[in-house]
Structure 1
Amino acid sequence: MIHELHNNPTLAGQVRLLDNVTYAAVDGRPLKMAILTPWTQRYPHQYHPTARPLIVFVQGSSWRTGKLGEEIPQLVQFAQAGYVVATVQHRSAIDGYAFPAFLEDVKTAIRYLRRHARKYAIDPHRVAIWGTSSGANAAMLVGLTGDDPRYKARLYKHESDRVDAVVSCFAPMDVADTFEYSKKVPGNKLLQFCLFGPDPSKWADVARAMSPLNVEKPGQDYPPFLLLHGDADKVVPYHQMEDMYKKLTHDGYEVSAYRIKGANHERDFWSPAVYQVVKKYLDEKIK
């Protein structure tokens, strides 16, 4: 017996991957992103882009240049649900690019996507940023420093780098405390030297400028935040998420937080339940 299935003329549920998209270049080095976008097609053969909400994803990398493909298998489900998802790279501190290079790059990527919103079928008024670990540190800083001239690089300068929602997974909220917590990890001092600059007398000031707990101020126009963190994290202490949640709540900002019981950094942190929480939150805030 030959079974039959119907065709899919609108390509519903299909995802297109645009890899190795260059959004900027610094010192001759290209900065890349990969973009997942839902396929939509009018019958019979015309591609019909509908403006979609955008998720900008920043993979954790200890402030090095992250792997573009690290989370793409998991992010496909968000593209299937109707989001455009752009996972972005930034310059590496280990290559000599101290703070705020990574933050400038992520903001440049957001402005690039807004500039090319029509090309990638993005709704520029529905943009979220989602990061993990050091990428979540970047995501928090983006949410707390929207259109801050201190971090606005020259490219696409007429576009906004503000976002409409922030998702933070196990972010360093207090950078100095994070380095102290992981001081026995090989390369700890070298990373601080590269990230904070060659003058140790200035490290404390740079660490404060990088720390969302220090950057957050009352009376600002911040987007809503979703914070998630494992309570057995051996890289970034769990209490930092609690501290950030309490501070945002105290100052009257919209914030939700989830404690992932027994979860370490990355790996066993992830589950279908975590992705469902993130999707439900993004559906409410930008979809």
Structure 2
Amino acid sequence: MTDYPIRHIDSNPTQAGLASMLANVTFTDRETDNLQMQILQPWGLVDEKGKDRLYPAVVFVQGSGWTFPHVYFQIPQLSQLARQGYVVATVTHRSMENGHRAPAYLLDVKAAIRFLRAQADTLHIDPERIGIWGTSSGANAALLAGLTIDDPKYRIDEWNKESDSVSYVVDCFGPADTVEMVDNFLKSLEKGKAALEQLSAREQEIQTKALASLKKDMHNFVGSDGGKLDLDLVRELSPIHQIKKDEDYPPVLILHGDQDELVDYKQSVELYKALVDNGNTAEMITVDGGQHEDGFWSQEVLDAIWDFIGRWS
């Protein structure tokens, strides 16, 4: 007698463990430079009784050297969070390459947070449970968002009736001390100029162009109309210099590879110490041998981030 085995799997009426994506959601209303985010949601937007579910949300800011972020870069990893029951929005901001000097990137990230809070019901978000996570320059934005909550200095027209508060910050290898970063840049510029005399004519031409490009990038980021760097602005964009004595800040998780050649690992250590010494909740994870993005990521790193987000959402 022929056997016809059939496997049976229970139905999943609430779509638990699955995720969906809302692509290219516009969160600004401007004549030019309108910005969009990509939103990942748990698939189960209603419970067994047909009532709308509200989920904690995570705002993710991809590192980009303060240029336009590649919003799709981490979506494969971010989908893990969505499948665990989080709404995840990977957001964009204006680029310094297009003439948008700092703090334009921070203003836009804060606008994205306020948009999510304003659209919380539609997007199935619990407005009291929104956190932020960033990498590299995106982590600088995330840190500043957490350290300057509802500061009117960084409030623009979009969704300005909403709060830009966050419940926690996850910082992956972000520049924590832009004062030191710019100081090192200026020293490198002088060293590069001094070395020109020892180069051949062709090498001098290449080095001169490289130095001019670096100088242009720095001016695009924190330059003033007078052509000089705005050192007050540089300090303002430095998270470690934003920490105010006895101020209550959201919990911060700092992760950094100790072989990072782009953003000094010591900056994260000093930021961690400054937060702890100020009485704030902070945790730090060192990725041994980790560089800047390269060799940094692993499932163990992601699981540590998921654990922190779960505890503070």
Q: Do residues 38 (structure 1) and 33 (structure 2) align?
A: no
Q: Structure 1 pair 95/118, CA: closer, same or farther in 2 (3 Å)?
A: same
Shift of 1:197: 2.2
1:161-172 paired onto structure 2 within 5 Å: 161-172=164-175
Decide whether aligned partners of structure 1 residues 189 and 49 sit closer, same or farther in structure 2, where only a CA change above 3 A counts.
farther
2:243 equivalent to 1:240: no
The residue number in structure 2 matching 1:223 is: 250
Unaligned 5+ residue runs, structure 2?
190-206
Q: Pick from 59, 62, 69: which aligns with 2:62? A: 59
One of 15, 21, 30 as aligned partner of 1:17: 21
- Structure 1 stretches of 4+ with a deviation exceeding 4 A read 41-44, 179-186
Amino acid at match of 1:176: V
* Partner secondary structure for residue 94 of structure 1: helix
Q: CA RMSD in A?
A: 2.0
Q: Does 1:98 align with 2:101?
A: yes
Change (3 A) 1:41 1:231: closer
Q: Give the distance between the partners of 1:113 and 1:43, measured in 2 at CA.
A: 21
CA distance in 1, matches of 2:123, 2:13: 21
Q: How far apart, CA to CA, are the structure 2 residues paired with 1:285 and 1:141?
A: 18
Asked if structure 2 preserves the Cα contact closer than 8 Å seen for 1:196 and 1:203, the reply is: yes
Taking a change above 3 Å as real, the CA distance of residues 270 and 181 of structure 1, as seen in their structure-2 partners, is farther
Pairs within 5 Å for 1:1-287: 1-40=5-44, 48-179=51-182, 183=188, 187-198=213-224, 199-286=226-313
Q: Deviations over 1:23-49 (max 9, x none)?
A: 0044422201011010116699x9753
Unaligned runs of 5+ in 1: none
Residues 114-166 of structure 1 show CA distances to partners (whole Å, capped at 9, x for unaligned) of 00000000001011100000000000000000000000001111100011100
Structure 1 position 55, deviation (Å): 0.4
Q: TM-score, normalised by structure 1?
A: 0.94
Q: 1:231 to 1:112 in 2, by over 3 A?
A: same
Larger radius of gyration: 2
User: How many residue pairs end up in the alignment?
Assistant: 285
For 2:94, the aligned partner's letter is: R
CA contact (8 A) 1:131 1:167 kept: yes
The structure carrying a bigger strand percent of its residues is 1
Identity %: 41
Asked whether the equivalents of residues 134 and 142 of structure 2 are also in contact (C-alpha less than 8 Å), the reply is yes
Structure 1 window deviating more from structure 2 (32-41 vs 111-120): it is 32-41
Query: Normalization by structure 2: what TM-score?
Result: 0.86
Q: Which has the higher helix share?
A: 2
1:50 is paired with a residue whose SS is coil
Contact 2:46 2:53 in 1 (8 A): no
| Corresponding residue SS for 2:153 | helix
Q: Distance in 2 between matches of 1:22 and 1:242?
A: 37
Task: Quote the Cα distance in structure 1 between the aligned partners of 2:244 and 2:30.
Answer: 32
Cα distance in 1 between the residues matched to 2:310 and 2:231: 38
* 1:283 shift after superposition: 0.8
